[in-house]
Chain A
Amino acid sequence: MSFDDATLEALGAYLDDELDDRERAEIETQLAQSDALRAELRAIEEVRTAVRALPIREAPTSFLDSVLGAGAGEETPAAESVPSVDELAGRRRAGKQSRSWRAMSALAGAAAASIVILAALFPSESTVRTPLASMVRAHAAGASGASGGADPVSVLAPVAQPVKFGR
């Protein structure tokens, strides 16, 4: 069974808690009546979870230093301590040049680490793809510190309930 775009858009907005009361009631009625629509909801939720579970990407330690200068980390909120735009641009250019050297050393380290990790993870040549849902679950569990929360969509059947996420 296929659904129109408006219904599918509403499913995503439902997961994001972005529907008004009338729309929420309508979509919950449809969800309660349709296994296929609940399956669609679950599929959207998997993708949403996959993106939300992406790890926080940490900036290199030099990033804020290059912006804030040597005073980074000190409690010096005075306006005069803020570098000028030109100063920041200069630091940015200097940082860009030095990053090339850091990248070379990082490459050597990364290569060594990758060999060790790959040897541990893939002892044989065979690779087996796991289903998307289980990959997402493992991915999300890793991102949440393995807290092991239940799949929120699974609580929808047989009667849909709004899914609330921390916002």
Chain B
Amino acid sequence: MTDGVPTWETIARDYGRFLYNVAYRLAGNDDDAQDLAQEALLRVRRGLERYEPRSLEGWLARIVTNVFLDEMRRRRRRPTDALPDDADRVLPTSPAADVATSGFSDEVQSALAGLPEEFRVAVVLCDVADLQYHEIAEATGVPVGTVRSRIHRGRQLLRAELVGVER
């Protein structure tokens, strides 16, 4: 670490788990989460010399969010890419991972995955990455008021979906 800036290896080792978890909650499956997290780490490496020590998690969340949004845009341009192209895209990675997300967590994850992207990003950055509204605004390039509105709308949609699960 020099001048408060961690090395890339330190970030990968210490924050890889954080990046992967956020990527998983955005993407909704392990394979895409691995791709997103790896691409995010590549961008971290390229951008590390420009990093100004502040909230490292906020910076990392901003990068993985941008990777996610770039990927969604790419898939909209080439919709066939959204289809499963290998077995593990639609299969659990391991029995342990399957058990870890069983039950109500699956319902929550499913509802989360069903949210429009802008609401999903806002909710994930708030409730999974634990960022403050101003950090989410910085990460997504929208005003704080928009972040507040998106989190509210996202939670409303989740609530409607989860109440449906209850019935």
Q: Tell me the A residues contacting B by CB distance below 8 Å.
A: 5, 8-9, 12-13, 16, 18, 43-44, 46-48, 50-60, 63-64, 66-68, 72-73, 76-77, 79, 81-82, 85, 88-89, 92, 95-96, 99-100, 102-104, 106-107, 109-110, 112-114, 117, 129-132, 135-136, 138-139, 167
Contacts and interface: CB of A to CB of B under 8 A. Distances in A.
Given A47-B162, A50-B162, A103-B93, A167 B132 contact: yes
A162 to B, nearest CB: 15
A51 B127 contact: yes
B59 interface: no
Contacts of A109: 94-95
Given A79-B7, A99-B31, A129 B166 contact: yes
A77 B7 contact: yes
A140 to B, nearest CB: 10
A52 B21 CA distance: 12
Contacts of A60: 30, 34, 93-94, 97
A81 B34 CA distance: 22
Interface in B1-46: 1, 7-10, 12-13, 16-17, 20-21, 24-25, 30-31, 33-35, 37-38, 41-42, 45-46
Given A51-B108, A51-B127, A56-B21, 8 more contacts: A9-B148, A48-B155, A54-B25, A54-B109, A63-B20, A64-B13, A82-B7, A106-B91
Nearest to A62: B34
A34 to B, nearest CB: 18
